[in-house]
Structure 1
Amino acid sequence: MATDTLTQPDLVLEGQTNTPALDEKKAEAFGDRLLGMLNSGALASMLSIGHRTGLLDTMATLSASTSLQIAEAAGLNERYVREWLAALVTGRIVDYDSVSRSYSLPAEHAAFLTRKASPNNLAATMQFVPLMGAVEDAIIDCFYHGGGVPYSAYTRFHEVMAEDSAQTVIAGLDTHILPMVPGLIETLASGISVADIGCGQGRAIQKLAGMFPNSRFVGYDFSPGAIAWAKAESQRLNLENITFELQDAAQISEDSQYDLIFAFDAIHDQAQPETVLQNIHRALRPEGVYLMQDIRASSHLENNLDHPVAPLLYFISCHHCTAVSLAAGGPGLGTMWGEELALEMIEAAGFTRIEVKQLEHDFQNNYYLARK
């Protein structure tokens, strides 16, 4: 019988699998998306440069100007300014007039890219992209060998984090965050004892120390550079009701010392987060308040698919928060440890009255209020 007239089943050789047909339109769309990612990553780095050099702030004050005029106004080298401008023109961030060879920053763009636009200055946040990229080699080594990357490897982390927090947290301390606790502003004015765990450069409690001279403030952090900066800045501001101590939060042993304890974005990258939370519980007076600000997200990946900046936060987590915890032998909770796990750990530390509050203008943070 002739076999060429029969329908033969597809033969699959050992070690091979059927390859599904390629959807050309889907593949092309994904390729275009990847090109967009490359351009966006490049522009993020350029915006970081524009923020750090003051170029964006300078352009916001100028009418249409040549690259030389912009460079002179900013006190920078014209050749580098011209190349920077070219990236932002082709990225549709800066407008360009080819006849007059002049550049301008639209007011609608300046509203998100200048220091005067704070708390909406996203150019400051762009700094995280090159900052984290600087430790990529060390992170790749962790992919192969495990372990982590120590805080000391991140040369500008506290500086960038403090600037970012100044926009999201510190700017709203008196107007939005403190009012979450009824009567807290009045008790601060009368005089209470306050601690900031993982204070970094201490900008939050420096602001409060200036506002509430009758209260006493102490900041704890294990970064020598951050504590040195905090002490120097407090001296410059003549704040006599504030002290800073170089201290690992896992080693704090105080008992019923504070009426109010803050932890701003500081728990998830600890080496011993459970111990830190227990220490906070012990250090708090019976009627005191623990106020913890941390990233608003779910502990479950599938619930974060529509989070507006989930890729950015997981990127920061991989490059910093997870890595610094693992470097110190910690669990590596990560930036996106999530509300579910945070509540579980706060309760396990001994807190029984816990609330989660959110601010309408702040999509990125949860504010946990906990009492004994």
Structure 2
Amino acid sequence: MSETVLDTTRAEAFGQQMVEVLNHSTLALLTSIGHQVGLYDTLADLPPATSHEIAGAAGLQERYVREWLGAMTVARIVEYDAGDRTYWLPREHAASLTRAAGPENIAGTMQFIALLAGVESSLAECFRGGGGVPYSEFGEFHRLMAEDSGALFDAALIDEILPLVPGLPARLEEGIEVADIGCGSGHAINLIAAAYPRSRCVGYDFSAEGIAAGQAEAATLRLRNAEFAVRDAASLGEHQRFDLVTAFDAIHDQAHPSQVLAGIADSLRPGGVFLMVDIQASSNLEDNLDHPFATFLYSVSTMHCMTVSLSLDGDALGTVWGEQKAHQLLTEAGFTNVRTTHLDPDPFNTYYICRK
């Protein structure tokens, strides 16, 4: 048998690819920090400025800001004039990096990289011995999810997402029973309750921390038609109570998603609708090769969604369960009419409109 000849061009190209991975990994962490301390927002409001001027405007320490700017400059995110030693953020870049960008702000999503890195050693042990990393080890997960989803909800929930269901805004205006499953920090259900005071809204989540956040926001907004309860979605225990049930990026995280979907179907009144929002992807790996977020989604699945489910002896559906699997489970749960659609401000998700 002849020896395989090494394709040196291919090897060098792959080596360079991995160097880019290393550079981009550290850049992701600095991008997250820049978002957290408001540097992108500050830069977007300034003309070309020195590191001292930028630090002063942001209320930050100049030496840290200067080194951060160095990384942003060599990464071609921030522009730099060597003569004046000034930096500026192009408007075209600000459109993906500032809070003003709303759901288009990718800098906020970078915060998940550090969050996932925090469970790296625990996850490696799961590779060796099985089991999973429990939800409790993920630190600021609730805050990050609330920030990430909140930008989309604020921009689109009332005016774009709910109207995807024909006639739904009018029914909400008249007053119906609404539930949000896996409500997290409850922002979505509070927005619905505030927009439609005649509807009665309840949010369920197994996290006491999330439920407390939802209750606190409802109290601040003085909402009398929003309530929250700590409850395992697999044991919903409601029969024909709701006219609308929503689940925003929550079903794939459940330990036993089939039980959850069956409970949701049972909780709907005749003519009720289940609006499920979940990851936009295929159930077939080969179909995801050109998905713009595929690597991120499979990584998040490995390091959070799948392993959290396994920590509960769950089915480990994973983040990238895909539209084909979703249709299968929805049909098995009793939904005979399932329609899918997509929303331009949201490149991550598919919207399922489901009826029994």
What TM-score comes out, normalization by structure 2 length? 0.97
Quick check: 1:317–1:323 contact (8 Å CA) kept in 2?
A: yes
Alignment of 1:267-282 (within 5 A): 267-282=251-266
2:190 equivalent to 1:206: yes
- 1:366 aligns to 2:353 (yes or no): no
> CA shift at 1:134, angstroms?
1.3
Q: Identify which of 232, 255, 271 aligns with 1:287.
A: 271
- Tell whether 2:245 aligns with 1:265: no
Q: CA deviation at 1:74?
A: 1.2
Once the two structures are superposed, the pairs formed by residues 1-372 of structure 1 within 5 Å of their partners are: 19-372=3-356
**Cα distance in 1 between the residues matched to 2:221 and 2:295:** 38
Partner of 2:47: helix, strand, or coil? coil
Q: 1:170: Cα distance to partner?
A: 4.6
CA contact (8 A) 1:170 1:203 kept: no
Aligned Cα root-mean-square deviation (Å): 1.2
* Structure 2 portions without partners, runs of 5+: none
SS of the counterpart of 2:251? coil
1:100 Cα deviation from its structure 2 partner:
2.1
SS in 2 for 1:96: strand
- Please state whether the residue corresponding to 1:268 is helix, strand or coil: helix
User: Which SS does the other structure have where 2:244 is aligned?
Assistant: strand
How much has 1:171 moved relative to structure 2? Answer: 2.1
CA distance in structure 2 between the partners assigned to 1:139 and 1:99 by the alignment = 48
What's the secondary structure of 1:194's corresponding residue? strand
Larger Rg: 1
Q: Distance in 2 between matches of 1:221 and 1:309?
A: 27
Give the Cα–Cα distance (whole angstroms) in 2 for the partners of residues 249 and 94 of structure 1: 45
Show CA shifts across 1:140-194 (max 9, x none): 1111111111111111111111222123455212222212211100000000000
Q: What is the percentage of aligned positions where both structures have the same residue?
A: 53
TM-score norm. by structure 1 comes to 0.93
Letter of the structure 2 residue corresponding to residue 54 of structure 1: G
Structure 1 residues 21 and 51 mapped into 2: Cα distance closer, same or farther (>3 Å)?
A: same
Q: Secondary structure at the match of 2:215?
A: helix
CA deviations 1:205-254 (Å, max 9, x no partner) are: 11111110000100000111111111111111111110010111112111
Moved more, 312-321 or 18-27: 18-27
Q: Does the Cα contact within 8 Å between 2:181 and 2:233 map onto a contact in 1?
A: yes
> SS at 2:20's partner residue?
helix
The DSSP-based 3-state class of the residue aligned with 1:119 is helix
Compared CA separation, residues 19 and 293, structure 1 to 2 (3 A): farther
Q: Which moved more, 1:211-220 or 1:161-170?
A: 161-170
Give the distance between the partners of 2:94 and 2:292, measured in 1 at CA.
Answer: 21
